[in-house]
């Protein structure tokens, strides 16, 4: 008699466990619409926008070789467009075409059209933050023209356009001329009153008669709205101050004839320290950089004290030049992508309270004080350039 209630309890537990846990979503992977990228762009709808979802076709991905290099094989993805009154409405409307709810956890890239960016991201960003499926680590990209153009462009090497975009973003550190910006980073800038959010810009370029997507430069936002874009030089200048430079090429001119010498950045450390002196605002920018001599005009010899000294100085000048051009551009766009306002807020919380409302007019008056120390640590495989004895 003793064992019976216990046995009953056990049976109940098992039944409850298997029964009640049924509310968890269990789906076979092959049934999931694996969404690799989501895009938002302007449309002629009354709501003014549309959603584009790029969904993988795994069976096409399986044998890329059998297609035989050409464009004749079926693409490994399908794009679905849909509109709605809200983003979520539009996304659920996709279900009517696809046959299941899209599975957005693997959307590694979120694309926003130029029109949406100009109009302002305010109305579109909330869904992506609130939805538990969308990763906060998804990359934000702003397109130069329409999102559709980028998402429809079959990459030359990869199978899926958005996967190719992600790969390009991941390797930006070799040039440091654009930046990876995740959804959460982007949002944290939107939460600041003064710091401007930035996002990489994707465009389409001709490549030997075929079109190819590229990512270069940064879009700079002011209050959710696109204020303008930084070109590659200005982007690099911004990244120096944000301490996000990993690698990249500095082209410095030769003293005599202005021929370019390529110096690869090996490492860089930057610290920006704001200072209030009387009524003047200063930001000390302290940079420690190491480079390697990677290319030089044949015949010249830089392996001397004077030569090395010149290259060091030339690097510092180039860095300073890049930062100044970025700063000037930001003044022109009336934005603060460097986050100097935030730095001041942290260091001078009392004074900041008075400054905050005048920040737009105070920003252009900031004086940048440079402390750049560079060094040349190696010359790669050869030291002196080849020359006849």
Partner 1 sequence: MGYLFKKIRLAKLLNENRKNVDLDDEREQKLISKDLGENIKDLRSVIDSGGDIVLREFCIGNDNKPNAAVVFIEGLVNKDILDASVLKPLMFLSALPDKSKSGLHDIDFIENNLLSAGNISRFSAYDELIDNLFSGEIILLVGGASEGLVINAFDPKTRAVEPPMTESVVRGSREGFTESIRTNISLLRRKIKNPDLCFEKIKIGKKSKTDVAVAYLKSIADPALIEEIKKRLGEISIDAVLESGYIEQFIEDAPFSIFPTVANSEKPDKVAAKLLEGRAAIFVDGTPFVLTVPMLFIESFQRSEDYYARPYYASMIRLIRFACYFISVLAPAVYIALTTFHQELIPTKLLLTLAAGHEQIPFPSVIEAFFILTVFEILREAGITMPQPVGSAVSIVGALVLGESAVTAGLIGPFMVIIVALTAISGFVVTAQIDSATVLRFVFLILAGAAGGFGIIMGMLVVGIHLASLRSFGIPYLSPISPFMPAEQKDALIRAPLRTFIFRPTSIVKKNITRQNPGALRKNNEKNPGGQNEN
Please select the residue that binds partner 1; options are 1, 305, 381, 386, rule is CB under 8 A: 1
Please say which residue, 135 or 195, places its beta carbon nearer to partner 1: 135
Please say which residue, 78 or 331, places its beta carbon nearer to partner 1: 78
Examine residue 71 and tell whether it contacts partner 1 (CB under 8 A): no
Give the per-residue contact string, 110-149, with partner 1 (x = CB under 8 A; - = no). Answer: -----------------------x-x--------------
Quick one: 72 exposed, middle or buried, by C-beta within 10 A (0-12, 13-18, 19+)? Answer: exposed
CB of 50 to partner 1, least distance (A): 25
Q: Are 115 and 44 in contact (CB under 8 A)?
A: no
Tokens 């130069």 belong to 144
CB of 306 to partner 1, least distance (A): 52
- Crossing angle of helices 305-333 and 232-241, rounded to 10°: 100
User: CA 286 from chain center: how many Å?
Assistant: 24
Q: Are 85 and 115 in contact (CB under 8 A)?
A: no
Please select the residue that binds partner 1; options are 88, 103, 214, 224, rule is CB under 8 A: 103
Examine residue 4 and tell whether it contacts partner 1 (CB under 8 A): yes
Examine residue 382 and tell whether it contacts partner 1 (CB under 8 A): no
Task: From 26-34, 316-324, 342-350, 358-366, give the range in contact with partner 1 by CB under 8 A.
Answer: 26-34
Please say which residue, 23 or 386, places its beta carbon nearer to partner 1: 23
Please say which residue, 26 or 361, places its beta carbon nearer to partner 1: 26
Tokens 């619409």 belong to 33
CB of 185 to partner 1, least distance (A): 20
Examine residue 34 and tell whether it contacts partner 1 (CB under 8 A): yes
d(CA 92, CA 252): 53
Examine residue 207 and tell whether it contacts partner 1 (CB under 8 A): no
Please say which residue, 107 or 315, places its beta carbon nearer to partner 1: 107
Please select the residue that binds partner 1; options are 2, 6, 7, 29, rule is CB under 8 A: 29
Task: Using alpha carbons only, give the angle 95, 99, 104 rounded to the nearest 5 degrees.
Answer: 55
Please say which residue, 103 or 310, places its beta carbon nearer to partner 1: 103
Of residues 146-185, those binding partner 1 (CB under 8 A): 163
CB of 13 to partner 1, least distance (A): 10
Give the DSSP letter string of 191-237.
TSSSPPPEEEEEEEEEETTEEEEEEEEEEEEETTEEEEEE-HHHHHH
Examine residue 25 and tell whether it contacts partner 1 (CB under 8 A): yes
CA atoms within 13 A on the CB side of 44: 0
Give the CA distances from residue 181 to residues 53, 114, 140, 197, in Å, rounded to whole numbers and listed in that order.
Answer: 20, 17, 6, 9
Give the DSSP letter string of 245-278.
--SEEEEEE-TTT--EEEEEEEEEEEEEEEEEET
Please say which residue, 13 or 377, places its beta carbon nearer to partner 1: 13
Q: Are 275 and 343 in contact (CB under 8 A)?
A: no
d(CA 10, CA 16): 10
Residue 147 backbone phi and psi in degrees, to 5: -70, -40
Task: From 53-61, 219-227, 352-360, 379-387, give the range in contact with partner 1 by CB under 8 A.
Answer: 53-61
CB of 108 to partner 1, least distance (A): 7
Quick one: 20 exposed, middle or buried, by C-beta within 10 A (0-12, 13-18, 19+)? Answer: exposed
Q: Which residues bind partner 1 (CB under 8 A)?
A: 1, 4, 17-18, 21-22, 24-30, 32, 34, 36, 56, 58-59, 61-62, 103, 105-106, 108, 133, 135, 163
């Amino acid at each position: 008699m003793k064992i019976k209630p216990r046995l009953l309890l056990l049976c109940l537990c098992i039944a409850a466990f298997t029964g009640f846990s049924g509310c968890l979503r269990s789906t076979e992977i092959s049934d999931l619409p694996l969404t690799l990228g989501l895009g938002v762009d302007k449309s002629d709808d009354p709501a003014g926008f549309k959603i584009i979802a790029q969904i993988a076709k795994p069976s096409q991905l399986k044998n890329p070789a059998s297609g035989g290099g050409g464009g004749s094989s079926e693409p490994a993805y399908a794009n679905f467009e849909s509109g709605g009154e809200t983003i979520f409405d539009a996304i659920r409307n996709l279900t009517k075409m696809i046959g299941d709810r899209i599975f957005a956890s693997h959307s590694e890239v979120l694309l926003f059209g130029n029109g949406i960016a100009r109009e302002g991201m305010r109305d579109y960003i909330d869904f992506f933050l609130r939805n538990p499926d969308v990763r906060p680590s998804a990359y934000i990209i702003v397109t130069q023209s329409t999102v559709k153009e980028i998402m429809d462009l079959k990459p030359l090497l990869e199978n899926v356009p958005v996967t190719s975009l992600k790969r390009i973003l991941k390797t930006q550190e070799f040039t440091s001329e654009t930046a990876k910006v995740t959804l959460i980073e982007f949002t944290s800038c939107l939460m600041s009153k003064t710091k401007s959010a930035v996002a990489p810009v994707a465009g389409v370029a001709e490549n030997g008669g075929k079109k190819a997507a590229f990512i270069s430069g940064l879009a700079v936002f002011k209050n959710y709205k696109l204020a303008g874009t930084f070109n590659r030089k200005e982007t690099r200048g911004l990244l120096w101050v944000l301490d996000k430079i990993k690698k990249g090429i500095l082209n410095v001119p030769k003293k005599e004839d202005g021929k370019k010498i390529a110096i690869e950045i090996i490492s860089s450390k930057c610290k920006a320290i704001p200072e209030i002196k009387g009524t003047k605002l200063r930001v000390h920018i302290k940079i420690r950089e190491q480079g390697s001599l990677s290319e030089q005009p044949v015949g010249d010899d830089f392996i001397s004290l004077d030569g090395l000294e010149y290259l060091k100085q030339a690097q510092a000048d180039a860095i300073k030049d890049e930062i100044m051009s970025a700063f000037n551009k930001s003044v022109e766009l009336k934005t603060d992508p460097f986050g100097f306002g935030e730095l001041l807020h942290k260091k001078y919380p009392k004074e900041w309270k008075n400054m905050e409302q005048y920040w737009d007019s105070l920003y252009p008056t900031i004086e940048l004080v440079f402390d750049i120390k560079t060094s040349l640590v190696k010359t790669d495989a050869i030291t002196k350039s080849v020359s006849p004895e």
